[in-house]
Chain A
Amino acid sequence: MNNTALKNAGPRFDVASVRRDFPILARSIHGKPLVYFDNGASAQRPLAVIDAVDDYERHHHSNIHRGVHALSQEATERYETARDRVVGFLNARSRQEIIFVRGTTEAINLVAQSYARPLLVPGDEILITHLEHHANIVPWQLVCEQTGATLVVAPMDAQGEVHAEAVEALMNERTKLFACAHVSNALGTVLPIGRLIGAAKARGITTLIDGAQAVPHMPVDVQALGCDFYAFSGHKLFGPTGIGVLYGRESVLDRMPPWQGGGDMILAVTFGKTTYNSLPYKFEAGTPNISGAIGLGAGIEYLAGLDLAGAHAHEQALLEVATEALGEIDGLSIVGTARDKASLVSFVVAGVHAHDLGTILDEEGIAIRTGHHCAMPVMDFFKVPATARASFAFYNTFEEIDHLSAAIRRAKAIFA
């Protein structure tokens, strides 16, 4: 389908109406209407989230699981309702499987320290892929240093695709854990995680999926996937920062020791012995980010009210239009051309460094991410120091992509 046909494809997802749900999209930057193409770094919040957090802060705040007083009960009820929404969102079996954490990074570190560290011995292997975010590399390197295990990296190809055969060839009796991204933050590649999880399970390998870049773009069903762990961040899912989720299979979580000790994760403490609380509280030491969880729950509820199939189709149309429009610019190369991609385009422009491009686009009101995207091994693979990345959400428009193309051409003219 060509550019024009895509723009006119029906039935249309009602972007104009959805945009009104996100107050920040009405902003101007340097006198120009904001074009927000940095959704992969952090998405914007709808009013539903802003209002839910505001309502909690104004009317219901207290500590949870503590007091018998009304406010504590109201706060607890709202926090636990948010957990129930996450259960539905991921199709987990129960609320015991949903642990609130700060974000994807903390979720992976929790699994590294509480699951992998006690289990691994020298000679064991942790398998990841070449396109991982640093948050799905460094926690495993730490565990390898601590246990003597080895980190094994499955390759990707020149399109930024990870082939299941290549990953499976590296799975063996020493592999104790397989951790990979659902969607690459630097390239947009959607990984064949259904097949990869199946291959790992068949060999008795525990699996963790970094879903930070996937949950804003596609439905996720952890039971259908069959993974042992799935992690994501609230702020990339139109919710607040500082809140995220670790899904863990209950039978696996049960066997793990607590990660952090403190309040809420205990049933009884004496100086001789502490009895840990049941799941999920065993992994939620200390007062959590209550308003963050409530905001995340509101974000999930907001998404449930959207035409998600329409939103997905719109995002894929944005991706196609952007790929075509940017591809027409002389000297522009798209980095990451996998067949199955989420809605983002990473690129470099000959003669214009990504940071200069970022500054020039910002003057036009266009927010993109420039740099290594916390994926330095990906940059090294493609032999670029940095890329520019435009990452889309369902509230972005085709007109905004026209602005992006025009601004890139202006940047080229400055450096011509």
Chain B
Amino acid sequence: MELNDLYRDVILDHNRHPRNFGALDPADASVEGFNPMCGDRLTVRLKMSGDCIADIRFEGQGCAISTASASLMTEAVKGQSRAAALALFDRVHQLLTDDAASSDELGKLAALSGVREFPARVKCASLCWHTLVSALKAPEAGLPDAVSTE
């Protein structure tokens, strides 16, 4: 295990300067994610244009891994279709948990691959993604407003 592999420059940069951070008003979906084990808490808000994520912002409090993952996620899915965002969730989930997972064409998200060597931190990186999925499914699932990684 190498700390440099976990705290790569991309991660440190997005932790220091999170992109798309703050409120989004009005939003079409707003879901709070909570990791009760560590107290990390973040809200993901979406603005949809038809089937497309027109805008996405997040805010909350979390560790560097959780903040950077959320920041990278918002950059990656903005402008994407719902189906493309859900497919990306599957890719990232594999990247975080499967040693054999490929990071081809994941761009900056590939920086999250170091997390899988630190099992205690996988939930930090995946919290925002579970929250996003919940927000994307919100209209058909009757608008849940909270998701938990425990």
Chain A proximity of B127: nearest CB distance (Å): 12
Are B38's CB and A371's CB within 8 A?
yes
With A359-B121, A415-B12 already in contact, the answer to whether A379 and B63 are too (CB < 8 A) is no
A370 interface hit (Cβ, 8 Å): yes
CA gap between A375 and B113 in the complex, in Å:
33
Chain B proximity of A133: nearest CB distance (Å): 15
With A359-B118, A371-B38 already in contact, the answer to whether A353 and B63 are too (CB < 8 A) is yes
CA gap between A370 and B16 in the complex, in Å:
21
B1 interface hit (Cβ, 8 Å): yes
Chain B proximity of A324: nearest CB distance (Å): 28
A30 interface hit (Cβ, 8 Å): yes
| B61 to chain A: closest residue by CB | A385
Interface 1/0s, chain A 376-412, versus B by CB < 8 A?
Answer: 1001000001100000000000000000000000000
Chain A proximity of B56: nearest CB distance (Å): 23
CA gap between A371 and B95 in the complex, in Å:
26
**B118 — which chain A residues lie within 8 A by C-beta?**
359
Would you list 20 pairs from A and B whose C-beta atoms are within 8 A, ordered by A residue?
A354-B63, A355-B40, A355-B124, A356-B7, A356-B64, A356-B65, A359-B3, A359-B121, A363-B3, A371-B37, A371-B39, A372-B38, A372-B39, A379-B39, A385-B39, A386-B38, A414-B12, A415-B15, A415-B16, A415-B64
Beyond the given pairs A356-B63, A359-B6, A415-B12, 5 more chain A to chain B contacts, judged by CB atoms under 8 angstroms and listed by A's residue number, are A353-B64, A356-B65, A363-B3, A414-B3, A414-B7
**B39 — which chain A residues lie within 8 A by C-beta?**
371-372, 376, 379, 385-386
B33 interface hit (Cβ, 8 Å): no
**A386 — which chain B residues lie within 8 A by C-beta?**
38-39
B62 interface hit (Cβ, 8 Å): yes
**A371 — which chain B residues lie within 8 A by C-beta?**
37-39
Cβ < 8 Å to A, chain B residues 10-60 = 12, 15-16, 37-41
A360 interface hit (Cβ, 8 Å): yes
B120 interface hit (Cβ, 8 Å): yes
Are A359's CB and B38's CB within 8 A?
no
With A30-B1, A386-B38, A414-B12 already in contact, the answer to whether A359 and B61 are too (CB < 8 A) is no
CA gap between A372 and B41 in the complex, in Å:
13
Instruction: How many A-B residue pairs have C-beta atoms within 8 angstroms? Tell me.
Output: 46
Q: Quick one: which of A30, A353, A359 contacts B62, CB cutoff 8 A? A: A353
CA gap between A359 and B3 in the complex, in Å:
8
Q: How large is the interface on B (under 10, 10 to 19, 20 to 34, 35 or more residues)?
A: 20 to 34
| A30 to chain B: closest residue by CB | B1
CA gap between A414 and B63 in the complex, in Å:
14
Cβ < 8 Å to B, chain A residues 352-367 = 353-356, 359-360, 363
**B7 — which chain A residues lie within 8 A by C-beta?**
356, 414
**A360 — which chain B residues lie within 8 A by C-beta?**
3
Chain B proximity of A413: nearest CB distance (Å): 11
Cβ < 8 Å to A, chain B residues 60-108 = 61-65
CA gap between A126 and B12 in the complex, in Å:
47
Are B1's CB and A355's CB within 8 A?
no
| B62 to chain A: closest residue by CB | A353
| B6 to chain A: closest residue by CB | A359
CA gap between A372 and B34 in the complex, in Å:
13
Chain B proximity of A157: nearest CB distance (Å): 23
**B65 — which chain A residues lie within 8 A by C-beta?**
355-356
Q: Quick one: which of A363, A370, A372 contacts B1, CB cutoff 8 A? A: A363
**A370 — which chain B residues lie within 8 A by C-beta?**
38
CA gap between A376 and B36 in the complex, in Å:
10
CA gap between A372 and B118 in the complex, in Å:
20
CA gap between A376 and B39 in the complex, in Å:
9
**B6 — which chain A residues lie within 8 A by C-beta?**
359
The 8 closest A-B pairs by CB, nearest first: A353-B63, A355-B63, A385-B39, A356-B64, A385-B61, A372-B39, A386-B39, A356-B63
**A355 — which chain B residues lie within 8 A by C-beta?**
38, 40, 63, 65, 121, 124
**B16 — which chain A residues lie within 8 A by C-beta?**
415
Cβ < 8 Å to A, chain B residues 102-147 = 118, 120-121, 124
Chain A proximity of B33: nearest CB distance (Å): 14
CA gap between A359 and B115 in the complex, in Å:
11
CA gap between A341 and B14 in the complex, in Å:
39
Chain B proximity of A280: nearest CB distance (Å): 35
CA gap between A356 and B7 in the complex, in Å:
9
Interface 1/0s, chain A 176-205, versus B by CB < 8 A?
Answer: 000000000000000000000000000000
Chain A proximity of B62: nearest CB distance (Å): 7
CA gap between A356 and B12 in the complex, in Å:
11
CA gap between A356 and B65 in the complex, in Å:
8
Q: Quick one: which of B15, B37, B41, B120 contacts A385, CB cutoff 8 A? A: B41
Interface 1/0s, chain A 344-358, versus B by CB < 8 A?
Answer: 000000000111100
